[in-house]
Amino acid sequence: MKSSGSTSEQSRVYNERIILHLVRQFPEISRVSIAERTGLSAQTISVITSSLLERQLLTITGKVKGRRGQPSIKLSINHKGAYGLGINVDRDHISAALLDFSGACVLQLERMVSFPSEHLAKGIAQELIEEVKTTLGSEWSRVEGIGLARPDYMDSWLETLVTDSEQRENLAELKAALEYWQSDAFETWLTELTGVTCFCENDAVAAATSELLLASDSPKRHFFYLFVSTACGGSLVANGECYFGAHGKAGSFGLIPTATGKHGKWILEALSLSSLRRFFMANQVAWPATEDAWQQAQYTMLIDQWTQDVAVEVTPALASVIALYDPEAVLIGGRLPAPVLSALISAMENTLSSHSMLPLPAIRVAQTGYTAGVLGAAVLPLYETFAPQQNLLLLSSKER
């Protein structure tokens, strides 16, 4: 693919997004500070910020005092300037979230399911979207789009990922129903239902994108995101943007074989909520009914055993990611209970130290954590519409 520079309009849009990103990071920033941080001329900044104020994407929150001449205004994101709506369809739940333009969560809803069919998913999604519309009222027109986050390969590995006893009795029928998710039909249906553009990514990429836009501290520019739910996946972030590779499959951590196969041939089977549920069932222990129950001794012992097993299974693959990619951090998000996630990180750190001669990146919980999938979905329309992505500047790089 040939890249041949950018037009003045592309550069203007990119500069506009750079300024929005700075204001998001530094609320009440002045135009002078924007100039210092970007190198853009005062005239360019004045023209762009005036346009953003007119479009109600920015708001004036005061004036900078103590300077000679005319006081400089303080600029912040207008929370009601735009909204991102997200739908997360996963193997064990369907959820929705609404984010305002600052990234604050206005509404979050969830319905538990087990490997949803087309009919069930549409019914729940329509119900959730109606609740969002009721919440927004006349401000629905400011919704920039709807993000859809869902796992790849929804109809695969059912023998290990399905733990519901009734569904396991007829996996062939379930597999046939789940073939619906191999197409983009649901994405098209969401666009028709809402009247706004649908932005679709797999759940790991969406979760990594949420980390880029919503991180409260200075976001990492090079990290590997490990998303753990009913199965697991990964996403590579390079130089502050998700890296997709030649065929859009970069970061597919779950598709790497495990070290021994003890909890499944593939990492997506072993490092998963399904694996943990199977482990509890094999030890004849019920799934904890409350968050406090996870702290009980019987669960603590099983959690330690499972996380140590799984750390051994994934360590060679994770060591390879570190050697090939050299990330600043490995972030883990998704739906593992907090005690399990904490134990898993400790186990990974211990096993990695004996498998790598390279400096090890920090392994830590992602900021969006348990809600990473649905918040990532809601971030997608805001990110695609307002984030300063490098490919905006390339005339011949319109496709990702």
Q: Going by C-beta distance under 8 Å and a sequence separation of 6 or more, which residues neighbour residue 277?
A: 163, 287
Task: Tell me the average pLDDT across 101-118.
Answer: 95
Domains and their CATH numbers in the chain: 8-77 (1.10.10.10), 83-206+374-393 (3.30.420.40), 220-366 (3.30.420.40)
| pLDDT value at residue 63 | 84
What b-and-e string marks burial along 84-123, b requiring 16 or more CB atoms within 10 Å of the CB?
bbbbbbbbbbbbbbbbbbbbebbbbbebebebbeeebbbe
The pLDDT confidence band at residue 251, using thresholds 50, 70 and 90, is: very high
Going by C-alpha positions, the residue among 82, 188, 80, 176 that lies closest to residue 125 is 188
Handedness of CA 250, 227, 388, 26 (dihedral sign): negative
Report yes or no: 151 and 186 within 8 Å, Cβ to Cβ: no
Concatenated DSSP letters for 318-373? HHHHHHHH--SEEEEEES--HHHHHHHHHHHHHHHTTT-SSPPPEEEE-SSGGGHH
| pLDDT value at residue 357 | 81
Report yes or no: 210 and 223 within 8 Å, Cβ to Cβ: no
Going by C-alpha positions, the residue among 336, 337, 340, 330 that lies closest to residue 366 is 330
Kindly report the length of the chain.
400
Q: Going by C-beta distance under 8 Å and a sequence separation of 6 or more, which residues neighbour residue 365?
A: 331, 332, 333, 341, 342, 345
The pLDDT confidence band at residue 30, using thresholds 50, 70 and 90, is: very high
CA 69 to chain CA centroid, nearest Å:
45
Q: Going by C-beta distance under 8 Å and a sequence separation of 6 or more, which residues neighbour residue 387?
A: 17, 21, 212, 213
What b-and-e string marks burial along 249-283, b requiring 16 or more CB atoms within 10 Å of the CB?
ebbbbbebebbeeebbebbbbbbbbbbbbbbbeee
Cα 376 to Cα 371: distance, rounded to the nearest angstrom: 8
Cα 10 to Cα 297: distance, rounded to the nearest angstrom: 59
The pLDDT confidence band at residue 398, using thresholds 50, 70 and 90, is: very low
Residue 353: how many CA atoms within 13 Å on its side-chain side?
Answer: 6
| pLDDT value at residue 62 | 85
Cα 58 to Cα 77: distance, rounded to the nearest angstrom: 5
Report whether pLDDT(100) > 60. Answer: yes
DSSP 8-state secondary structure symbol assigned to residue 220: P
Handedness of CA 204, 210, 213, 216 (dihedral sign): negative
CA end-to-end span of the chain = 11
Residue 341: how many CA atoms within 13 Å on its side-chain side?
Answer: 18
- Residue-wise pLDDT for 263-284, tens only, equals 999 999 999 999 999 999 999 9
The pLDDT confidence band at residue 216, using thresholds 50, 70 and 90, is: low
Q: State both tokens at 149.
A: 């986050």
pTM for the complete prediction? Answer: 0.91
Q: Where are the alpha helices (DSSP H) in the chain?
A: 8-25, 31-38, 42-54, 118-136, 158-161, 165-168, 171-178, 185-194, 203-214, 267-270, 273-282, 297-325, 338-352, 372-386
Q: State both tokens at 245.
A: 């590779």
